[in-house]
Structure 1
Amino acid sequence: MLKDLNLNAMNHFEAVARLGGISKAAEELGVSPSAVSQQIRQFEQQFGVRLFRREKRKLTLTDDGERLFQTTTQAFRMMRDVRQAIQRQREARHFILRVSPSFAVRFLSPRLKGFLDEQPNWQVRIDAAPDFSDFETEVVDLDLRYGEGGWSGLHQEAVVHDMVFPMCSPAYLEELRSKSDDPIGQLRHAQLIDSVKTHYRWDFWLAKYGVMGERMVYPLRFDRSSMALQLAADGAGVVLESSTLALNELESGALVPLSTAFDAIRFPAYWLVCPSRHTSRRIVRLFSDWIREAGREHDARAAALMGKLGLRIDNQQGRLLPGEEFSRD
Structure 2
Amino acid sequence: MRDINLKATEYFEAVARLGTVTKAAAELGVSPSAVSQQIRLLEGQFGVKLFRREKRRLVLTLDGDRLFQTTAHAFGALRNARSAIGRQRDMRGLTIRVSPSFGVRWLGPRVARFAADNPDWAIRIDATPDVTSFETEAVDCDLRYGHGDWAGLTVDCLMSDLVMPMCSPAYLDRLRRQGGDLATQLESARLIDSVKSLYRWDLWLASNRIELKELVYPFRFDRSSMSIEMAKQSGGVALDSATLCLPELARGDLVPLSLACPVVEFPAYWFVCPTRHLNRRIVSRFSGWVAHEAKECEAEARALLSGLGCGFVAGRVGPEGV
Could you say whether these structures have the same fold, taking a TM-score greater than 0.5 normalized by the shorter chain as the test?
yes
So what's the TM-score if we normalise by structure 1?
A: 0.69
Q: What residue is the counterpart of 1:190 in the other structure?
A: 189
Q: Given residue 245 of structure 1, which amino acid in structure 2 is its aligned partner?
A: L
Q: What residue is the counterpart of 1:255 in the other structure?
A: 254
Q: Given residue 152 of structure 1, which amino acid in structure 2 is its aligned partner?
A: A
Shift of 1:87: 11
Q: Given residue 296 of structure 2, which amino acid in structure 1 is its aligned partner?
A: E
Q: What residue is the counterpart of 1:223 in the other structure?
A: 222
Local SS of the residue matching 1:110: coil
Asked if the contact 2:198–2:317 (Cα under 8 Å) also holds between the matched residues in 1, the reply is: no
CA deviations over 1:103-147 (Å, ceiling 9, x no partner): 111111111111011100000000011110111111100000001
Shift of 1:244: 1.3
CA deviations over 1:246-287 (Å, ceiling 9, x no partner): 111111101000000111011121100011111111111010
Shift of 1:208: 1.3
Local SS of the residue matching 1:300: helix
Q: What residue is the counterpart of 2:319 in the other structure?
A: 321
Asked if the contact 1:154–1:273 (Cα under 8 Å) also holds between the matched residues in 2, the reply is: yes
Q: What residue is the counterpart of 1:199 in the other structure?
A: 198
Q: What residue is the counterpart of 2:94 in the other structure?
A: 95
Work out the CA distance in 2 between the residues paired with 1:262 and 1:128.
33
Q: What residue is the counterpart of 2:72 in the other structure?
A: none
- Does 2:121 align with 1:118? no
Local SS of the residue matching 1:303: helix
Q: Given residue 189 of structure 2, which amino acid in structure 1 is its aligned partner?
A: A
**Runs of 4+ residues deviating >4 angstroms:** 86-91
Shift of 1:227: 1.1
So what's the TM-score if we normalise by structure 2?
A: 0.70
User: C-alpha root-mean-square deviation of aligned residues, in Å?
Assistant: 2.0
Work out the CA distance in 2 between the residues paired with 1:242 and 1:231.
14
- Does 2:274 align with 1:271? no
Q: What residue is the counterpart of 1:281 in the other structure?
A: 280
Asked if the contact 2:147–2:318 (Cα under 8 Å) also holds between the matched residues in 1, the reply is: no
Task: Map 1:33-112 to 2 at 5 A.
Answer: 91-112=90-111
Q: Which has the higher contact order (CA 8 A, sep 6+)?
A: 1
Q: What residue is the counterpart of 2:310 in the other structure?
A: 311
Q: What residue is the counterpart of 1:293 in the other structure?
A: 292
Work out the CA distance in 2 between the residues paired with 1:253 and 1:299.
19
Work out the CA distance in 2 between the residues paired with 1:258 and 1:181.
14
Shift of 1:90: 6.3
Asked if the contact 1:191–1:238 (Cα under 8 Å) also holds between the matched residues in 2, the reply is: yes
Work out the CA distance in 1 between the residues paired with 2:285 and 2:271.
12
Work out the CA distance in 1 between the residues paired with 2:253 and 2:317.
32
Q: Given residue 250 of structure 1, which amino acid in structure 2 is its aligned partner?
A: L
Work out the CA distance in 1 between the residues paired with 2:267 and 2:138.
26
Work out the CA distance in 2 between the residues paired with 1:186 and 1:180.
7
Q: Given residue 238 of structure 2, which amino acid in structure 1 is its aligned partner?
A: V
Work out the CA distance in 1 between the residues paired with 2:216 and 2:179.
18
CA deviations over 1:18-47 (Å, ceiling 9, x no partner): xxxxxxxxxxxxxxxxxxxxxxxxxxxxxx
Work out the CA distance in 2 between the residues paired with 1:182 and 1:321.
31
Work out the CA distance in 2 between the residues paired with 1:278 and 1:286.
11
CA deviations over 1:148-172 (Å, ceiling 9, x no partner): 2110111100112210000000011
Q: Given residue 128 of structure 1, which amino acid in structure 2 is its aligned partner?
A: A
Q: Given residue 225 of structure 1, which amino acid in structure 2 is its aligned partner?
A: S
Work out the CA distance in 2 between the residues paired with 1:321 and 1:174.
36
Work out the CA distance in 1 between the residues paired with 2:131 and 2:168.
33
Q: Given residue 320 of structure 1, which amino acid in structure 2 is its aligned partner?
A: G
Asked if the contact 1:95–1:125 (Cα under 8 Å) also holds between the matched residues in 2, the reply is: yes
Shift of 1:102: 1.1
Work out the CA distance in 1 between the residues paired with 2:188 and 2:158.
37
Asked if the contact 2:187–2:213 (Cα under 8 Å) also holds between the matched residues in 1, the reply is: no
Asked if the contact 1:183–1:261 (Cα under 8 Å) also holds between the matched residues in 2, the reply is: no
Inter-CA distance 89–113: structure 2 relative to 1 (3 Å threshold): closer
Q: What residue is the counterpart of 1:8 in the other structure?
A: none
Q: What residue is the counterpart of 1:137 in the other structure?
A: 136
How many residues align structurally?
238
Shift of 1:214: 2.3
Q: Given residue 173 of structure 1, which amino acid in structure 2 is its aligned partner?
A: L
